[in-house]
Amino acid sequence: MDYFLQQLINGVTLGSIYGLIAIGYTMVYGIIGMINFAHGDIFMVGSFVALILIVALGITAATPVLLLILALALVLVVAMALTAVWGWTVERIAYRPLRGSFRLAPLITAIGASIALQNFVQVSQGAKNKPLQPLFSGSFQLTDGGADGSGFIVNLSYIQILIVVTTVILMGGFTYLINNTNLGRSQRACEQDRKMASLLGVNVDRTISLTFVMGASLASVAGLMFLLYYGVVDFYIGFLAGVKAFTAAVLGGIGSLPGAMLGGLLIGLIETFWSGYFSVEYKDVAAFSILAIVLIFMPEGLLGQPEVEKV
Amino acid sequence: MQARKKDSLLVASVKDSLGAAVITFALACVMVGLRVDVASGRGAELFLEHRWLAVAVAVLVVFAGRLAMNIFFWKREDPPSLNLSGLLPKGGMGGGSSNVLKYGLVVLAVALPFALMFWLGARGSRQYIDLAILVMTYVMLGWGLNIVVGLAGLLDLGYVAFYAVGAYSYALLAHYFGFSFWLCLPLAGILAAFWGVILGFPVLRLRGDYLAIVTLAFGEIIRVVLLNWYQFTGGPDGLSGIPRPSFFGLEFTRGEDGFASFFGLDYSSIHRIIFLYYLIFAMALFTNFVTMRLRRMPIGRAWEALREDEIACRALGINTTNTKLTAFALGAMFAGFAGSFFATRQGFISPESFTFLESAIILAIVVLGGLGSQIGVVIAAIVMIGGFEFFREFEEYRMLVFGMIMVVIMVWKPRGLISSRTPSVALSRNAKGISADLVQEGHG
């Protein structure tokens, strides 16, 4: 039971990270109906930006707590802004010229952009793993392992709390943004009917750009969280994380924001429990199989609307 | 009046270029300007390296380049037209003008090893023939994938899985049962086709990009299984000592019953290389031949119809399930053949050779060459694989450039370099081909 609880905590943390990335997939898919294959690599760029900023600001575990939190908030904001520029640029260069072209074309450029981003980071930052010393080391002990000390000690670390809390705050913020602002309204309009929206005075190109910007900045938050949680990044983390987050988006129902979050949580939990109870080696197989199974049997996902095929 | 207009052009250009420069700075300031590295010796501490000069250069280059483009092309009222399309060969498989090119390439391919031997001798030509074998392997893979992507319009991102199935089939059959290459070649093809059906069956209902991502997942699953099933596949160590092919029972060895002594030649290791070259050449030609024949059969027409419009296809009573499955299975079969050839050529295989990047390269060959165009695949394979080898010294940069080229070519010519969707059958003799420019939106 205690072991289960620990896996649950770890799974929710991992799931928050996947959920943040999945939002980028789901928003882009909702609005232009394409898989932004480079999104996983935008997440990777985001985590690199965060790492560089942390090193540049000289943040270490020795920094006083209040200052540490402030500095991390600064890192978060700057990383979000800079990664957003990356997301915008990828959209501008690789996707916008192909709008209205045949459907496979943007997918191919997305793969190209993904390869280019990965190798750009490999060239500019080197291929080595970049380990970061943990910044928060404390944790709450939820169970003490029983009276005789034979039980399993369940830890809830500060960093896990930080990740989940940040995710919840950001999710709330973005839900508000989509539901209650002009930008969100034009976004939903473009999602329903791009041509009609443009006739009604919505700047479609700008809305799509902003969608990419939002997705990229959320991905950079996920990148920072990933960095703080695992303490190591390399140029290749984007691929696996991207596929898993996409799985999360599909599982939750593509195009649906709460769905992406729910899917992220589920994927995180499934992956953690799978590695906790079955085998660590095959945890990626578990995630990929879920992707295939969901797409085959339940393509509209948990919270999505069924897609109507139009001629 | 004239002066004012010119002024505003300049001002607009400068503004636009400044914007681009600012964005470049935002992109580059952290990711290029600072490099985080692990200090050696002092534990795992991270430190930063500064490269502000590179950022300045990048910003200046973008500013100047954008300014020049703005002034001379984009913001002018009469931009000089640069039509490079004429430089590329027109037409797809059936085009009359490409016949010369086609037979020229075949003759060149046949003559290549001897020409190289003549000029460079056995020692010097070896690396070039090796390269030609590699290119030929990719041509074959490209043609195989062309059936799935180019003809049937199903985007398959996990094609390399079938390549892996073929390679491992041969290696494992040879390892456990001692089967020879010639027995394993068809078996590997059949096994790969079988996997094609197994993987293809569940994904038939999916549309283009969903299909793509599921095939990607399948490709990764197969790779991860190969990587972790240590007892059976050797895991990350791979399988080595895969037997070499024989020439109708003649081994390429020194000695009495070897190939060289049978034909009364002096033994040379180049014989096997040349044999491998002709082997893959024949296999590639076989792939092409089968594809071309199938295109003229009802199944091939069904593929093309499926590519253009699946709903219309169903309305016409075409069994889309069977059509898709045959495309998947045939594509997989050729990948299986190529895979067992790869295994026998290398003598060693490991999951390292079957990553997603490999799938992306094959897909890029097909797509950049022009979907459905056989000659385009050849040209793209030669340019791309040749380019990779040519820039081998710039190991780090070539994949970066590869990714960027993929984007640029797709933006420039979304239908690929040789873009034509020549239907295999047309109503009147005059209506031979539909140029890509006329085909707007197909649900490909």
pLDDT digits (tens, 9 = 90+) for A206-232: 999 999 999 999 999 999 999 988 888
**For residue B54, what pLDDT is reported?**
86
- B267/B369: higher pLDDT: B369
- Residue range B379-407: average pLDDT? 85
Which of A74-88, A156-170, B230-244 reaches the highest mean pLDDT? A74-88
Model confidence pLDDT, tens digit, residues A250-286 = 888 888 888 889 999 999 999 898 888 887 778 888 8
Q: What is the DSSP letter of A144?
A: -
User: In chain B, which residues have their Cβ closer than 8 Å to the Cβ of A81?
Assistant: 26
Q: How large is the average pLDDT for residues B35-60? A: 80
Instruction: Work out the pLDDT band at B438, boundaries 50, 70, 90.
Output: very low
Residues of A in contact with B32 (CB under 8 A): 124
Q: Which residues pair with B48 in a beta bridge?
A: B36
**Residue of chain A with shortest Cα separation from B55:** A124
Residue B442 confidence (pLDDT) above 50: no
Comparing alpha-carbon positions, the chain A residue that sits nearest to B156 is A104
* Section B348-355 average pLDDT: 88
What is the per-residue DSSP string for B50-99?
E-HHHHHHHHHHHHHHHHHHIIIIIT-SSPPP---GGGSPP--SS-STHH
Residue B259 has pLDDT above 70, yes or no: yes
In angstroms, the separation between the Cα of residue A240 and the nearest Cα of chain B is: 10
Q: How many CB atoms lie within 10 A of CB B129?
A: 20
Amino acid at position A58, single letter: G
Q: Are residues A84 and A216 in contact, defined by beta-carbon separation less than 8 angstroms? A: yes
More confident residue, A307 or B50: B50
Q: Answer yes or no: do B410 and A98 touch at CB < 8 A.
A: yes
Distance CA A188, CA A207 (A): 10
Residues A189-208 pLDDT 10s: 888 888 888 898 888 899 99
C-alpha distances in Å from residue B209, one per residue of A135, A144, A165, B137: 40, 49, 34, 27
- Which residue is closest to B409 within chain A, CA to CA? A109
Cβ–Cβ gap A102/B415 under 8 Å: yes
What pLDDT is recorded for position B421? 55
The CB density around residue B264, as the number of other CB atoms within 10 Å, is: 6
pLDDT greater than 70 at residue B233: yes
Taking only the tens place, the pLDDT of each residue in B181-216 is: 888 899 999 999 999 998 888 777 777 678 888 888
The pLDDT, as a whole number, for residue B6 is: 55
Task: Say if residue A84's pLDDT is above 80.
Answer: yes
Amino acid B93: pLDDT: 42
Q: What is the pLDDT of residue A107?
A: 85
Residues β-bridged to residue A230: none
Q: Residue B425's pLDDT is what?
A: 56
Distance between CA A295 and CA A208 in Å, rounded?
25
pLDDT score of B92? 44
Across the range B211-239, mean pLDDT stands at 85
pLDDT band at A148 (very low <50, low <70, confident <90, very high): low
Comparing CA positions, the residue from B132, B81, B137 lying closest to residue B111 is: B132
* A–B interface: beta-carbon pairs under 8 A: 196
pLDDT at B431: 47
Would you give the end-to-end CA distance of chain B in angstroms?
50
Q: Is the dihedral angle over the CA atoms A286, A292, A296, A300 positive or is it negative? A: positive
What interface predicted TM-score (ipTM) does this complex get? Answer: 0.85
- Chain B residues with CB under 8 Å of A239 CB are 356
Under 8 Å between Cβ of B372 and B151: yes
Q: What is the pLDDT of residues A9-26, one digit of tens each?
A: 889 999 999 999 999 888
How far is A108 from chain B, CA to nearest CA, in Å? 7
pLDDT band at A74 (very low <50, low <70, confident <90, very high): very high
Question: Is residue A217 less than 8 Å (CB to CB) from chain B?
Answer: no
Q: Could you tell me if A126 lies within 8 Å of chain B, comparing CB atoms?
A: yes
Q: Are A311 and B311 in contact (CB under 8 A)?
A: yes
pLDDT tens per residue across span A33-42:
888 889 999 9
CA–CA separation, A39 and A22 (whole Å): 9
Q: Could you say which of A113, A285, A295 has the minimum Cβ distance to residue B224?
A: A285
